[in-house]
Amino acid sequence: MGTFDENNIEYQRARRQVERLRGFYGHVFAYIAVNALIVVYNCLHLKPGESYFQFKNFFTATFWGIGLAAHAITVFLPRVNFIRKWEDNKIKELMDKQKEH
């Protein structure tokens, strides 16, 4: 197994992708954990005969789920991600500035 050159642009891209994946998986874990607690709380506080299937019980999961889906798109669909292109251009710009000085 060889060593990695931390100045290598491919290494930097791979490292950023791993960081994005780690962030996304942390987001998924938080989503599942928090929404599981909300489900338990809501079930414990249902009135007799009240159905769990009401919009108020799915509000957090729905809107947070939309945010989670957007996060997934930025992590797993790199062609759609204009932010990644901006990052790459900014890195190149900063590296060029460092070479000048």
Tens digits of per-residue pLDDT, 10-49?
888 888 889 999 999 999 999 999 999 999 999 999 999 9
What band does 56 get if pLDDT is binned at 50, 70 and 90? confident
- pLDDT of 6 over the 80 cut: no
Write out the DSSP string of 25-70: HHHHHHHHHHHHHHHHHHHHTPPTT--S-SHHHHHHHHHHHHHHHH
Share the mean pLDDT of the chain. Answer: 86
- What region, left, alpha or beta, does residue 28 occupy, with left being phi > 0 and alpha being psi -120 to 50 degrees? alpha
Tens digits of per-residue pLDDT, 69-98?
999 988 888 666 677 778 778 888 888 888
Give residue 22's pLDDT: 97
Give residue 23's pLDDT: 97
